[in-house]
Amino acid sequence: MVFDISCEELASRLDDSTPIALLDVREDWELEICAIRQALHIPLSELSGRVDELAPDVPLAIICHHGVRSRHAGRFLEDRGFKEVFNVRGGIDAWALEVERDMSRYD
């Protein structure tokens, strides 16, 4: 099951000692507008060929623009044995509104 994680909870986990990895599945052009520095970038279209870049035993939060692509990525990874997969609720847009308020946003 892909769990939801709020932007605030993700920010807290990225700042403390609770291990969590962050995967950004947006396209290159989207990262040119805004990105979270701790995130590994693998576009959703490339994920199936790059799964080996991720550790299945480390909790993994996945982010996209609003949360749709990241949920698809989470289901895909769960089917491949990833145990703790989290969809970042609201995506990078919510992150910009709730956590990093000076971050650029896009439609």
Residues with catalytic annotation? 64
What values do phi and psi take at 20, rounded to 5? -155, 135
Residue type, 75: R
Dist. CA 48–CA 52, nearest whole Å? 9
